[in-house]
C-alpha cells in the first residue's frame, strides 16, 4: 500500500510532546456509530458518511460517521432500555456500568441528532418512520440540549434498543493533538422503514457509499478521513452484509488504542492496531 507521509507540522507537534515541551489535552469521551445498509453492487454493505464543515476545529473537511461527545444527561439511570444491559455493555466496552450506559445513550442520541435515524422502539418493535415535523422538533430540542434522551423516550413511550448496536473498536486521539477524544465505535443496521436525512449542522454533505468504494476514494484522495474512520471502513468492508458485521461485533470486546507517530522509511506514519496490518498490507 502507498503510504502518505504525515504533515511536517504534525510530526513537529508529536516530537514536542515526546520531548516533554507540551502537555497532552484531557480527552473527552465520545461515541460514533457506523450506520449500515445492504449494498446493491456486491461490494459489501453501504455506510453513511457526513463531510464535516472545513471550519470545524477537529477533523474539518473529513468524512466521518454520526457521533459526538457524551453529555452529562446520558448517564441518567432512568432511561427506558431494552436489550443487553448496561452491565453487559460495561464488560464489552471495558468501562464501568455508568459509563457504559452513557456511551450507549450517546450513540443512540447522536445518531438521531446527526442522521434522523432512531435506534429505539418498544420491547418487540422498532420505530419505522421519523420524518414528521414532530420528530424534527424533538431532534432539534435534543441537539440544543433542551430535551434529554430520557424525557424524549418517555414522552413517546419508547425504549432505547441497545440490541440494535454492536461494539466495534475504540480509539483515543494521539497525545500531541490539541483536541482529544476517547471514542467508542459502534455499528448498527439502518432500521427497516427509516431513512437518513441531511440534518447535521456540522456537515456540508452526506452520502451513502459502498464501504469499499469509500476506502478506494480515500486512497485516491477524492475524499478524506481520519485514520480510524478509514481503517474502520476497511475492516467493515471485509464482511458481505450488515448482518455479518453485527455478527462479528457480537464477538468483540473493545480495547482502546492510541496511535503514535512512528518512522516509515524516510517519513512518518501513525501506528495502528495489529488486526488492521494485514488489511492495509493487502491494499
Please indicate, yes or no, whether the overall pTM of this predicted structure exceeds 0.75: yes
What residues does 189 pair with on adjacent strands? 36
**Rounded distance, CA 173 to CA 257, Å?**
9
**What is the architecture, at CATH level 2, of domain 8-281?**
Alpha-Beta Complex (3.90)
**What are residue 16's phi and psi, to 5 degrees?**
-60, -40
Query: Residue 155: what pLDDT?
Result: 95
Q: Which of 260, 229, 258, 183 is nearest to 35 (CA)?
A: 229
Domain boundaries, the chain: 8-281
Q: Residue 174, Cα to own-chain centre: how many angstroms?
A: 17
Query: Residue 20: what pLDDT?
Result: 67
pLDDT tens per residue, the chain (283 residues)? 344 445 566 667 667 766 666 677 899 999 999 999 999 876 689 999 999 765 454 555 789 999 999 999 999 999 999 999 999 999 999 999 999 999 999 999 999 999 999 999 998 999 999 999 999 999 999 999 999 999 999 999 999 999 999 999 999 998 777 789 999 999 999 999 999 998 876 666 899 999 999 999 999 989 989 889 999 999 999 999 999 999 999 999 999 999 877 777 666 677 889 899 899 888 8
Task: Determine contact, residues 191/126, Cβ cutoff 8 Å.
Answer: yes
Task: Determine contact, residues 66/32, Cβ cutoff 8 Å.
Answer: yes
Amino acid at each position: 500500500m502507498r503510504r502518505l507521509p504525515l504533515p511536517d507540522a504534525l510530526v513537529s507537534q508529536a516530537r514536542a510532546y515526546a520531548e516533554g515541551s507540551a502537555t497532552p489535552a484531557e480527552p473527552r469521551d465520545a461515541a460514533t456509530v457506523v450506520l449500515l445498509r445492504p449494498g446493491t453492487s456486491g461490494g459489501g454493505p453501504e455506510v453513511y458518511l457526513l463531510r464535516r464543515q472545513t471550519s470545524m476545529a477537529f477533523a474539518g473537511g473529513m468524512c466521518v460517521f454520526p457521533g459526538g461527545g457524551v453529555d452529562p444527561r446520558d448517564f441518567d439511570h432512568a432511561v427506558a432500555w431494552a436489550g443487553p444491559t448496561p452491565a453487559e455493555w460495561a464488560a464489552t466496552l471495558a468501562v464501568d456500568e455508568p459509563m457504559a450506559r452513557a456511551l450507549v445513550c450517546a450513540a443512540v442520541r447522536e445518531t438521531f441528532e446527526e442522521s434522523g435515524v432512531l435506534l429505539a422502539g418498544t420491547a418487540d418493535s422498532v420505530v419505522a418512520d421519523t420524518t414528521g415535523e414532530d420528530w424534527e422538533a424533538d431532534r432539534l430540542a435534543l441537539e440544543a440540549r433542551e430535551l434529554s434522551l430520557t424525557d424524549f423516550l418517555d414522552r413517546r413511550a419508547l425504549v432505547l434498543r441497545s440490541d440494535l448496536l454492536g461494539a466495534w473498536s475504540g480509539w483515543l486521539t494521539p497525545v500531541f493533538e490539541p483536541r482529544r477524544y476517547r471514542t467508542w465505535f459502534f455499528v448498527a443496521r439502518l432500521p427497516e422503514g427509516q431513512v437518513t436525512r441531511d440534518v447535521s449542522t456540522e456537515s456540508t454533505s452526506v452520502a451513502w457509499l459502498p464501504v469499499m468504494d469509500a476506502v478506494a476514494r480515500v486512497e485516491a484522495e477524492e475524499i478524506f478521513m481520519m485514520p480510524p474512520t478509514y481503517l474502520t471502513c476497511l475492516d467493515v468492508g471485509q464482511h458481505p452484509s450488515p448482518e455479518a458485521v453485527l455478527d462479528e461485533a457480537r464477538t468483540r470486546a473493545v480495547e482502546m488504542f492510541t496511535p503514535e507517530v512512528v518512522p516509515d522509511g524516510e517519513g512518518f506514519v501513525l501506528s495502528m492496531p495489529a488486526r488492521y496490518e494485514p488489511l492495509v498490507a493487502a491494499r
